[in-house]
């Protein structure tokens, strides 16, 4: 069926619309959301298989041929990211059943989550730069609502900051697209790439590359532009935080990856060098901040920033190893950040303390929680059999083969900081005498831990079967490295 | 509070709001070949309702127009998505539209296009959104 690749966008959209009708019936809302996200997950897995067997899938929406209408493009990269998004959304929705609270559930929580999935899946799938902007806005508007829903004081304050920053960056996005349109005269991404190859990237396009880096850097939080993230992500409840941490910044990273490998790859001397330097600074500052705080949420938030730096460094390095590593690390990081936020949210709801030095000995009463946390920290730091290893080793490999010794070493040392920052939580919070962490009978661990177990299982399997995953990732990287494949698939030459 | 007499405003509103509503419909249906369409049509319609709100009060208007505007948004979205879903049935790319010329009883030969259904969706969403915003802000004490 030709419409397969639009199903991961349509199913959540239709669900969101239906859920508006069932505002008062919370149980109905929960069941419909879970069923629809499962359906989205299944279709996206089918899509991955389809892309694996038949190559890049394209759909000309409204039957208008490629450069004139909006084309949706599903190559392996976007299909994998859509699958990861659906899986994470499913787990976050199950987690929010008990944790999010009835007040939020009654006020359109589930429809807005569905709209968020529409935005993220759409941004991953679209092949049109302005359509990407529109999906960014769908995603951002839902995230505004999710950030403010519930209306506590801290949420209101942080939402104002978040909206201001994102409105600014969206305006910049429109300006950049307008500039790009005035230079190349088209909005279809494959067509833009073709036109840029024809004019061989004059100076104005390098300026545009930097403008796009600023725009997507604001969305994805790289070095000088991450100032808004720690405060904003601190405000909402754990399930929403997990959705944000796993999905939103990664859309920015995906857009940098797309634009820097599809559009601006002709004159990499300035732009990619700049991207690499900014990434390394992001890693360094993120590492410093991650070890500076005792607040668990802050630690995980700064770990997002470190991971963004690692991924964008791989994009800047632009060789096969580094790009493969980036794609590996991107998917790993989506899953593992969702896990960490869900676990930290659970720990906070058990102990009632944000800082890890306020409690100890949690493992006595909650052994499963403790070991899940331990495994996910090891996976995050990149200990070999687990998921973070293969991506990081490939990025470091890419850095060394480019002759960038400093970059590779910074990434390696940052792993140590990542491990240290979260292992402190494990040692201080889970070991020792059980003080300040009495067993709470009121918390039914099953519904909380079930989604976490799914995600940790995915992360472990992702690392153990990385040989198998590599087949898919290498297909994604093949398209990233050869933009002609993308152009040919879209413009049907 | 002393009760004011809004006789002139209310009488004029009764006539003018209908005129605005008719103009909104005109603009809505003109959209395919002339400036207009669902968005501006929807805004004009909500303009007519806002005029009613100014002349009367929230309760009176809610009594004479018993619509839940949030449901209206959902219905509008359903129209818009549903137009696209039709293409799934006929196995053509999403949002592919169809059109043909029909001979209708009173109107005679009419050019009907499924894009109008999509536009109805836009219209309903715009009316719903605008009125939801205005009502929620107006209700707050």
More confident residue, A432 or A446: A432
Query: Does pLDDT of A447 surpass 80?
Result: no
Average pLDDT of span A62-80: 91
**Nearest C-alpha of chain A: how many angstroms from B37?**
19
Residue B17: predicted pLDDT: 94
Measure the CA angle with vertex A466, ends A463 and A468; round to 5°: 140
Q: Is the CB of residue A13 less than 8 Å away from at least one CB of chain B? A: yes
> Distance between CA B43 and CA B124 in Å, rounded?
10
Distance CA B79, CA A52 (A): 35
Distance CA A27, CA A378 (A): 37
pLDDT tens digits for A228-267? 999 999 999 999 999 999 999 999 999 999 999 999 988 8
For A193-221, what is the mean pLDDT? Answer: 91
- At B10 the three-state DSSP class reads helix
Q: Give me the mean pLDDT over the A180-208 stretch.
A: 92
pLDDT for residue A314 is more than 60:
yes
Is the pLDDT assigned to residue A148 strictly greater than 80? Answer: yes
- The larger pLDDT score, comparing residue A1 to residue B120, is at B120
Angle, CA of A15, A17 and A21, to the nearest 5°: 105
Q: What pLDDT is stored for residue B6 in this prediction? A: 86
Listing DSSP states for A327-396 in one string gives HHHHHHHHHHHHHHHHHHHHHHHHH--SBGGG-B-HHHH-HHHHHHHHHHHHHHHT-TTSHHHHHHHHHH
Lowest mean per-residue pLDDT among A95-109, A184-198, A246-260? A95-109
Residue B110 contacts A, CB cutoff 8 Å? no
Instruction: Decide if B77 and A3 are in contact by the 8 Å CB cutoff.
Output: no
Q: Which residues of A fall within a CB distance of 8 Å from B77?
A: 13, 16-17, 20
Residue A461: Cβ-neighbour burial (10 angstroms; 0-12, 13-18, 19+): middle
Q: Residue B102: enclosing H or E segment and its boundaries?
A: strand B99-104
Which pLDDT does position B140 carry in this prediction?
67
* B95–A61 C-beta distance less than 8 A: yes
Q: Over 60: is that where the pLDDT of A437 sits? A: no
| Residue A70 confidence (pLDDT) above 70 | yes
Asked if B115 reaches chain A (Cβ–Cβ under 8 Å), the answer is: no
User: H helices then E strands: how many in chain A?
Assistant: 22, 2
Whether A471 and chain B come into contact, CB under 8 Å, resolves to no
Q: So what's the pLDDT on residue A87?
A: 95
d(CA A336, CA A246): 8
* DSSP of A54-80: H--EEEEGGG--TTTS-EEEE-HHHHH
Q: What percent of chain A has pLDDT over 70?
A: 98
Residue B49 has pLDDT above 90, yes or no: yes
Best probe of the A interface among B82, B92, B94, by most A CBs < 10 A, is: B94
pLDDT at A299: 94
Tell me, rounded to whole angstroms, the distance of Cα A413 from its chain centroid.
Answer: 23
Helices A76-99 and A109-125, axial angle in degrees (round to 10): 170
| Chain A environment of B124 (Cβ under 8 Å) | none
Tokens linked to A313 = 């460094």
Q: Could A20 and B74 be called an inter-chain contact, meaning their C-beta atoms sit closer than 8 Å?
A: yes
Give, as one character, the DSSP assignment of residue B101: E
The b-or-e profile of B114-128 (16+ CB within 10 A means b, else e) is bbbebbbbbbbbbbb
Q: How far is B57 from chain A (nearest CA, A)?
A: 26
Exposed / middle / buried, residue B30 (Cβ in 10 Å: 0-12, 13-18, 19+): middle
Cβ-Cβ contacts under 8 Å, B78 against chain A: 17
- B93, A13: Cβ pair inside 8 Å? no
Assess contact for A246 and A117: CB atoms under 8 A: no
CA angle B57, B62, B66 (to 5 degrees): 165
Checking A165-174 for CB contacts under 8 A at 24+ apart, the result is A165/A218, A165/A228, A166/A140, A166/A218, A166/A219, A168/A218, A169/A214, A169/A215, A169/A218, A169/A219, A170/A133, A170/A136, A170/A137, A170/A140, A172/A211, A172/A214, A172/A215, A172/A218, A173/A133, A173/A136, A173/A215, A174/A133
Say yes or no: B78 contacts chain A, CB-CB below 8 A: yes
Asked if B136 is an interface residue toward chain A (Cβ–Cβ < 8 A), one would say no
Q: What is the tens place of the pLDDT at every residue in B6-25? A: 899 999 999 999 999 999 99
pLDDT at A1 over 80: no
The tokens 């995230």 sit on which residue? Answer: A143
pLDDT of residue A311: 95
| DSSP code per residue over A149-194 | TT--HHHHHHHHHHHHHHHHHHHHHHHHHHHHHHHH---BHHHHHH
List the single range of A13-27, A55-69, A244-258, A423-437 with lowest mean pLDDT.
A423-437
Contact B94 A61 (CB under 8 A): yes
A13 → closest Cβ in B70, B81, B88 = B81
In chain A, domain spans: 4-491
Q: Which of residues 79-98 of B touch A (CB under 8 A)?
A: 81, 84-85, 87-88, 91-97
- Name chain B contacts of A71, Cβ cutoff 8 Å: none
Q: Which of A6, A20, A21 sits opposite B94 (nearest CB)?
A: A6
**Non-local CB neighbours of A224 within 8 Å, separated by 6+ positions:** A278
Mean pLDDT estimate for chain A: 91
pLDDT at A440 over 80: no
Q: Tell me: the pLDDT tens digits for A257-305?
A: 999 999 998 888 889 999 999 999 999 999 999 999 999 999 999 999 9
Q: Which residues of A428-450 are buried (b: 16+ CB within 10 A; e: fewer)?
A: bbbeeebeebeeeeeeeeeebbe
A17 to B96: CB separation less than 8 angstroms, yes or no: no
What's the Cα-to-Cα distance from A134 to each of A70, A138, A254, rounded to whole Å? 12, 6, 16
Q: Report ipTM for this prediction.
A: 0.91
A118 close to A12: Cβ distance less than 8 angstroms: yes
What token pair was written down for A302? Answer: 């700064």
């Amino acid at each position: 069926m030709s419409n397969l690749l639009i199903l991961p966008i349509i199913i959540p959209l239709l669900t969101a619309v239906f859920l508006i009708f069932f505002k008062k019936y919370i149980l109905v809302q929960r069941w419909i959301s879970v069923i629809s996200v499962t359906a989205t997950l299944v279709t996206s897995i089918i899509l991955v298989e389809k892309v694996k067997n038949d190559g890049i899938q394209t759909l000309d929406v409204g039957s208008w041929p490629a450069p004139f209408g909006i084309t949706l493009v599903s190559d392996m990269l976007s299909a994998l990211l859509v699958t990861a998004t659906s899986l994470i959304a499913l787990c976050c929705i199950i987690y929010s059943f008990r944790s999010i609270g009835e007040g939020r559930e009654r006020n359109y929580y589930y429809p807005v989550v569905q709209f968020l999935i529409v935005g993220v899946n759409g941004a991953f799938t679209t092949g049109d730069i302005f359509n990407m902007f529109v999906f960014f806005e769908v995603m951002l508007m839902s995230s505004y609502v999710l950030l403010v829903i519930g209306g506590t004081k801290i949420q209101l304050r942080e939402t104002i900051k978040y909206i201001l920053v994102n409105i600014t960056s969206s305006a910049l996005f429109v300006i950049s697209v307008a500039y790009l349109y005035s230079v190349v005269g088209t909005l279809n991404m494959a067509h833009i790439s073709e036109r840029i190859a024809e004019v061989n990237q004059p100076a104005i396009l390098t300026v545009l590359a930097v403008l796009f880096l600023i725009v997507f850097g604001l969305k994805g939080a790289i070095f000088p532009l991450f100032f808004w993230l720690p405060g904003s992500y601190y405000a909402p409840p754990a399930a929403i935080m997990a959705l944000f941490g796993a999905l939103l910044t990664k859309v920015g990273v995906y857009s940098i990856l797309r634009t820097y490998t599809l559009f601006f790859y002709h004159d990499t001397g300035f732009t990619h060098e700049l991207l690499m330097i900014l990434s390394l600074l992001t890693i360094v500052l993120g590492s410093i901040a991650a070890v500076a705080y005792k607040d668990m949420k802050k630690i995980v938030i700064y770990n997002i920033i470190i991971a963004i730096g690692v991924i964008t460094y791989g994009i800047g390095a632009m060789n096969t190893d580094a790009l493969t590593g980036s794609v590996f690390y991107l998917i790993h990081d989506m899953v593992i950040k969702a896990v960490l936020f869900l676990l930290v949210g659970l720990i906070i709801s058990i102990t009632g303390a944000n800082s890890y030095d306020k409690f100890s000995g949690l493992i006595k009463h909650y052994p499963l929680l403790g070991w899940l946390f331990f495994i996910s920290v090891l996976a995050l730091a990149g200990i070999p059999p687990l998921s973070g290893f293969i991506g990081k080793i490939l990025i470091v490999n890419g850095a060394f083969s480019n002759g960038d010794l400093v970059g590779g070493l910074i990434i390696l040392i940052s792993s140590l900081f990542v491990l240290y920052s979260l292992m402190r939580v494990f040692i201080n919070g889970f070991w020792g005498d059980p003080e300040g962490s009495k067993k709470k009978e009121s918390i039914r661990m099953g519904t909380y831990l079930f989604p976490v177990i799914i995600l940790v299982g995915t992360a472990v399997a992702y690392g153990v079967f990385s040989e198998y995953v590599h087949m898919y990732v290498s297909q994604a990287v093949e398209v990233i490295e050869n933009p002609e494949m993308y152009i040919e698939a879209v413009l049907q030459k | 509070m002393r009760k004011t007499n809004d006789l002139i405003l209310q009488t004029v509103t009764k006539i003018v709001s209908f005129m605005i509503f008719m103009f909104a419909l005109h603009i809505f249906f003109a959209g395919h070949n002339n400036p207009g369409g669902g968005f501006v049509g929807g805004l004009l319609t909500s303009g007519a309702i806002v005029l009613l709100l100014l002349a009367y009060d929230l309760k009176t208007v809610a009594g004479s127009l018993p619509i839940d505007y949030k449901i209206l948004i959902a219905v509008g979205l359903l129209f818009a998505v549903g137009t696209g879903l039709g293409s799934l049935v006929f196995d053509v790319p999403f949002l592919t539209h169809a059109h043909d010329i029909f001979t209708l009883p009173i109107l005679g030969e009419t050019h009907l296009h499924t894009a109008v259904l999509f536009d109805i969706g836009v219209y309903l969403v715009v009316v719903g959104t605008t009125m939801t915003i205005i009502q929620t802000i107006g209700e707050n004490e």
